[in-house]
């Protein structure tokens, strides 16, 4: 038989550990899957009469970008990949975090040194994630880029306003993970969305996009209960 006092200390320790896990869950809990897209060594150029920089091969391209890309998917790939969309996550007890960062530099020969945006987002469950229009759009674009090479994507910012549609085209070189992207339409009107008065003629850039799936706090609470159960299991108290 075991004395009650001898197990109170360990039990409280496990309870404290469980509480700590719950507090730290969003930042440090084991990640169940990720999607990460990194664009590096990027060069972007804009010109109403044709992008003048980034070794633009065609003056019909008013916006032209090149660089290196790296895509890692351990979230959707095991569940059917990007073409399957978010649906397979509906039965998973996950919450989600996203990170998006874009940096640019005035000198295309140097590393980016100006933060354009650095944002984070979180969703408590699948329903919230799949209902977010920004996430749905982002996933749709990513699926198109990774599923068609070369390819293009038609944007329609406001379906009720005719004539505001525009297309982005791309080509990926999977051998060395480089890309080129362009548009033949003048998209300078997008500059204010990036906090700029006009699109730059020639800049360097890098971008990081990341989506993490993490266990919901309830799952960690069950872990703590399980640990306490192991401590008491098979023992008779006095």
| Span of 56-60, 95-99, 125-129, 158-162 with lowest mean pLDDT | 158-162
| Span of 4-8, 143-147, 153-157 with lowest mean pLDDT | 4-8
Task: Answer yes or no: is pLDDT of 76 > 90.
Answer: yes
CA–CA distance, 78 with 93 (Å, rounded to integer): 16
Domain ranges of the chain: 31-215
Task: Answer yes or no: is pLDDT of 10 > 90.
Answer: no
Q: Most confidently modeled of 23-37, 108-122, 141-155, 189-203?
A: 141-155
CA–CA distance, 238 with 229 (Å, rounded to integer): 17
Task: Answer yes or no: is pLDDT of 93 > 90.
Answer: yes
Note the pTM of the prediction, 2 decimals: 0.76
CA–CA distance, 62 with 182 (Å, rounded to integer): 7
| Span of 79-88, 154-163, 205-214 with lowest mean pLDDT | 154-163
Between the CA of residue 178 and those of 38, 57, 65, 155, what are the distances in Å?
11, 16, 11, 23
Which tens digit of pLDDT belongs to each residue from 172-217? 999 999 999 999 999 999 888 877 889 999 999 999 999 999 987 6
So what's the pLDDT on residue 83? 86
| 54-79: average pLDDT | 96
CA–CA distance, 165 with 160 (Å, rounded to integer): 11
First and final C-alpha spacing in the chain: 7
So what's the pLDDT on residue 129? 94
| Span of 48-57, 90-99, 170-179, 193-202 with lowest mean pLDDT | 193-202
So what's the pLDDT on residue 16? 42
| 156-173: average pLDDT | 88
| Span of 82-86, 140-144, 189-193, 227-231 with lowest mean pLDDT | 227-231
So what's the pLDDT on residue 217? 63
- Percent of the chain having pLDDT more than 90? 58
Residue 94 backbone zone (phi > 0: left; psi -120 to 50: alpha; other: beta):
beta
| 211-234: average pLDDT | 58
| 92-112: average pLDDT | 89
So what's the pLDDT on residue 85? 87
Helix axes 217-232, 5-28, angle to 10 degrees: 160
Between the CA of residue 152 and those of 61, 122, 162, 166, 184, what are the distances in Å?
14, 29, 20, 10, 12
Q: What six digits make up the tokens of 5?
A: 């006092």
- Percent of the chain having pLDDT more than 70? 79
């Amino acid at each position: 038989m075991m004395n009650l006092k001898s197990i109170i200390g360990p039990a409280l320790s496990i309870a404290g550990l469980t509480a700590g896990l719950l507090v730290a869950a969003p930042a440090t809990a084991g990640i169940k899957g990720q999607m990460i897209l990194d664009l590096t060594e990027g060069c972007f150029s804009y010109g109403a009469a044709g992008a003048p920089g980034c070794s633009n091969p065609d003056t019909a391209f008013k916006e032209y970008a090149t660089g290196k890309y790296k895509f890692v998917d351990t979230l959707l790939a095991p569940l059917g990949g990007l073409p399957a969309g978010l649906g397979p996550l509906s039965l998973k007890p996950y919450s989600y975090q996203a990170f998006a960062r874009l940096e640019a530099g005035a000198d295309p020969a140097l590393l980016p040194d100006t933060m354009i945006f650095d944002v984070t987002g979180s969703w408590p469950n699948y329903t919230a994630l799949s209902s977010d229009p920004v996430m749905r759009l982002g996933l749709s674009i990513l699926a198109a880029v990774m599923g068609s090479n070369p390819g293009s994507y038609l944007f329609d910012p406001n379906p009720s306003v005719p004539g505001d549609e525009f297309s982005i085209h791309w080509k990926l070189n999977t051998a060395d993970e480089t890309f080129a992207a362009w548009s033949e339409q003048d998209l300078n009107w997008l500059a204010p969305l990036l906090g700029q008065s006009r699109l730059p003629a020639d800049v360097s850039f890098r971008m990081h996009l990341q989506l993490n799936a993490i266990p919901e706090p309830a799952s960690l609470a069950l872990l703590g209960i399980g640990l306490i159960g192991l401590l008491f299991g098979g023992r008779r108290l006095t």
